Structure 1
Amino acid sequence: MPFRGTEDAVLAHVPRTIPLTVTTTEAKGLAATVDLAQRLAGHGYSVAPHLAARQVRDKRQLADLVAQLREAGIDGIFVIGGDVTQPAGGFPDALSLLEVLDADGHHFRRIGIGGYPEGHGSISQDLIDRAIELKARYATHVVTQLCFDAGTTAAWARRVKERGVDLPIHVGLPGAVSRQKLIRISAGLGLGQSARFLRKQQSMLWRFFLPGGYSPDRLVEWLAPRVSAPEGTLRGFHLFTFNELEKTEAWRRRMLTRAGQQP
């Protein structure tokens, strides 16, 4: 998240071999996201900023954003609709922005889109399923929203593949983040955005906030066999650090060591 101190924390704790994403928040807007992404790219990181379609005013602003990222050597983005109530301009959803990007041409080699194993708090499942089919033609991979049930994630991935979406899927999960930190940061995004965030994560209260309900170790262990299955599309993990970079990196190294791999 593009907060004060994020750049220093990344430099202190995250190896340059780790690909990063920078989120877009409703409060700070796209400028803070792109600025931090540019600075991190200048330090040698592979960075993919979130482009929230509903915060982009028009084609001209989109072209300016693309030019800034090209100049910084950033060749990856993650395109989401975003949760602002009223679109800033002509992009009501991720698909509309992806279509314009494709029509106008771009330099991006990696384009991520969102996946919703448990659906969306304000969009019907039919629309969600149809949207990922349409967006997939412009994307290189999918990153899921948080889901704390391995079976639900695996079943969703199978259903998406049956609908013809063959993109690699990276399972989104929190890293070594305390309950208190997640509550504090999500509240800092703004009350409205926090409420929408929690509505979208239907298992959040039960799987995370209740005592003993969440462990990144347990979820990774449940999902690991499915991620490595050759017949599926689950291909890895995407860690939502909520800026707990030092703890999450230490946890990542510990898990790799436990699995007999080099961190």
Structure 2
Amino acid sequence: MAIPQIHPNWDKEPAGITDGFSLEMTAKDEASLRDAAPLIPAETPVAVTFLPGEDVAARVAATIAVRELGFEPMPHFSARRITSEDDFEGYLRAVVEQAGVRRCFIVAGDPPEPVGPYFDTSALIATGAFERAGIQAIGVGGHPEGHPNMSVAECWAVLEKKVADISARGMAPLIVTQFGFDPDAFLAWLKELRARGIDAPVRIGVPGPAGIKRLLAFAARCGVGASTSVLRKYGISVTNLLGSAGPDKLVDAFAQGLGAEHGRVRLHFYPFGGLRKTVEWIGDYNRKHGINA
């Protein structure tokens, strides 16, 4: 059986650490994406999140915009926020038919109990809806710094099962991690991932440049480790929370630390300070380091 492509450019040798990056947006960011589009390479994967309070039509419209602008849409499906089978399959059908979606990302979602029939991402995989719709790749979450509701052993067991289940259904698994500030934690997690025999490609979550208080607020909301020593390593001083911070030191550490033992890895940017600001930072970083991505 042929292995589906994670992304059209995945097998191309990257020109540098930022080459082949992906981005994340919400349905409300469509105008921001259009503004930043001239600075984004063609076929860049753009994930469209599944947030509470957003209209399905707005998510579909954002996904269509990603495709129309020449990028690769990857809509999110939040299992516990899906109200019914019709809700799930209707949204999937809409993005496939109207935006040519071939890749999706699945999360369990924040609610402790589901509002509909799907308790977790495994329940979505088990429906068979993704492969019936022609989806080639499914992204799942990775948690290098642990998960607030699961033990380390449970995290590995769940991840191993999802990767195996996606592969068994003829689709390609992709792991996209939570963002973080500590490159050492990510590099160690990647080595353990490979030692466990999981060879799925990984996108490492990187926070785009943003105000320091905003970064720390997202970290607290997402359960991301932000100790004084980790923040100092990232370039943030807890005695001065004014101003903004970019991921220069973090990305430098990945550029220097990633090797063959870490497997296939690219970066995924969470644009907390805005899409254009994030993409401009990537362009500046590339010019500074001679990366012709």
Q: TM-score category by the smaller chain?
A: 0.7 to 0.9
* RMSD across aligned positions (CA): 2.6
Contact 1:33 1:50 in 2 (8 A): no
Of 216, 221, 224 in structure 2, the residue corresponding to residue 201 of structure 1 is: 224
**Larger RCO, structures 1/2 (Cα 8 Å, 6+ apart):** 2
TM superposition score normalised by structure 2? 0.76
Aligned to 1:92: 119
Structure 1 alignment gaps of length 5 or more: 187-193
Aligned to 2:248: 217
Contact 1:179 1:209 in 2 (8 A): no
Of 250, 255, 263 in structure 1, the residue corresponding to residue 285 of structure 2 is: 255
The separation in 2 between residues aligned to 1:248 and 1:47, in whole angstroms, is 18
1:142 is paired with a residue whose SS is: strand
Contact 1:144 1:170 in 2 (8 A): yes
Amino acid at match of 1:70: V
The alignment status of 1:2 with 2:33, answered yes or no, reads: no
**Displacement of 1:3 after TM fit?**
5.3
After superposition, the Cα gap between the structure-2 partners of 1:220 and 1:16, relative to the gap in structure 1 and judged at 3 Å, is closer
Task: Give CA deviations for 1:17-40 in whole Å, capped at 9, x if unaligned.
Answer: 232111121232655433321233
Task: Give CA deviations for 1:110-148 in whole Å, capped at 9, x if unaligned.
Answer: 321100001111222221110100111214211110121
Task: Give CA deviations for 1:75-126 in whole Å, capped at 9, x if unaligned.
Answer: 1111111112321222111121122136862311232110000111122222
The alignment status of 1:20 with 2:38, answered yes or no, reads: no
Structure 2 alignment gaps of length 5 or more: 1-24, 167-171
1:8-87 superposed matches below 5 A? 8-14=31-37, 15=40, 17=42, 18-28=44-54, 32-71=58-97, 72-87=99-114
Identity %: 25
The separation in 2 between residues aligned to 1:84 and 1:242, in whole angstroms, is 22
Stretch deviating more after TM superposition (250-259 or 174-183): 174-183
The separation in 2 between residues aligned to 1:221 and 1:54, in whole angstroms, is 37
Aligned to 1:111: 138
Amino acid at match of 2:128: L
Paired residue total: 251
The alignment status of 1:165 with 2:195, answered yes or no, reads: no
After superposition, the Cα gap between the structure-2 partners of 1:104 and 1:176, relative to the gap in structure 1 and judged at 3 Å, is closer
